[in-house]
Amino acid sequence: MNIVRTVTIAESGRLPNLILIGAMKCATTSLHFYLGLHPQISMSREKELNFFVRERNWPKGIDWYKSQFTGVAKIYGESSPSYTHYLIFTGVPERIAAVVPAAKLIYLVRDPIERAISHYIHEFAAHSEHRTFAAVMADFHDNRYLSRSLYYLQLERYLQCFPRSQILVVAQEELYAERRKTLEMIFRFLDVEPSFSSWLFYHFRNRSCDKRRKTALGLRLARLPVMQLLKRLPPAVQWHCERLLYLPFSRKIERPRLDTELRRRLVAYFQDDSRRIQEYAGHKFPGWCV
């Protein structure tokens, strides 16, 4: 079925009815891009608006937030993984419910250990983390890498503010392994044409710079104003530009190796939470360590 988006006059000044609430390092950039291809969906040009985080863009006000959604569409959406960073950022579900109570929420998740490792590499690459992975995992209490992989802990806060019918949980592994089937499920959840497809679904996958550590020169490049403009580009274009600009000033970061005892402790730590998030989704996530 062919779908044509009819746009006569560019419109702006509206609130979204779709929010990707995370999780970090779980393919939110890829899904943001895929959703934006659908002619009935308009995703924000800047992916991470972080509006409902008090410490980020909440002070900018509703008018600023409305201005981020343009065009004519059935669904307007944004993606901010910081919305599932409970223990660090509080009150986010309550703010979302107060401003857009009818919004549908999509929560992308991933094998919790793999997500924690990817998160660590991300922070190490940005020079925000200097410890070894073993040192980071020495204490599980209030551990920022682990808390964001406690998916049901994060989801519980939303279930206090939204009915289950408005929250869809999707595993990153499903999105990549069964892209067409998973996107069709998401489109049905959003009540848009489920048969829509694009060749770009199969030729774009966000490959972040996780495995590369920027040198000091690369970090200086990142602070230039022109680099900040990249965030306003479509994800596919942004990714290619970043590769061209950063790759010459980068070097590989080795993936941390988990010894048997640490892996055992991590599996035990995530066991109950992972069971509960899979029960919420209604099926097991193949390939998860738990």
**pLDDT tens digits, the chain, 290 residues: what are they?**
444 443 333 345 799 999 999 999 999 999 999 999 999 999 998 999 999 999 999 999 999 999 999 999 999 999 999 999 999 999 999 999 999 999 999 999 999 999 999 999 989 888 889 999 999 999 999 999 999 999 999 999 999 999 999 999 999 999 999 999 999 999 999 999 999 999 888 876 554 444 444 444 455 566 666 666 766 676 567 666 766 666 665 666 788 999 999 999 999 999 999 999 999 999 999 889 88
Token pair of 15, please? 């609130």
Q: Quote the pLDDT of residue 3.
A: 42
* Distance separating alpha carbons of residues 21 and 77, to the nearest angstrom: 11
Predicted local distance difference test score (pLDDT) of residue 223: 62
Question: Coil, strand or helix: which one is 21?
Answer: strand
**Is residue 222 one of the residues assigned to a domain?**
no
Amino acid of residue 226: V
Structure tokens at 27: 């393919």
pLDDT of residue 239: 61
What pLDDT is attached to residue 141?
A: 94
DSSP letter for each residue of 150-162: -HHHHHHHHHTTS
Domain-located, residue 173: yes
pLDDT value at residue 8? 32
216-240 burial string, b = 16+ CB within 10 Å, else e?
A: eebeebbeeeeeeeeeebebbebbe
* Tokens linked to 227: 């680099």
Q: Does residue 244 sit within a domain?
A: no
9 domain residue, yes or no: no
Residue 116 placed within a domain = yes
Q: Residue written as tokens 């199969």?
A: 202
**Six token digits for residue 40:** 């009935």
Report whether 191 contacts 227 (CB < 8 A): no
Note whether 92 and 52 are within 8 A (CB): yes
CB 270 within 8 A of CB 113: yes
Tell me what pLDDT residue 247 has: 60
The helix or strand, by DSSP H or E, that contains position 287, with its residue range, turns out to be none
Domain that holds residue 83: 18-211+253-281
CATH at residue 163: 3.40.50.300
219 occurs within a structural domain = no
pLDDT of residue 125: 83
Would you say residue 273 lies in a domain? Answer: yes
Domain contains 243: no
Give me the number of domains the chain comprises. Answer: 1
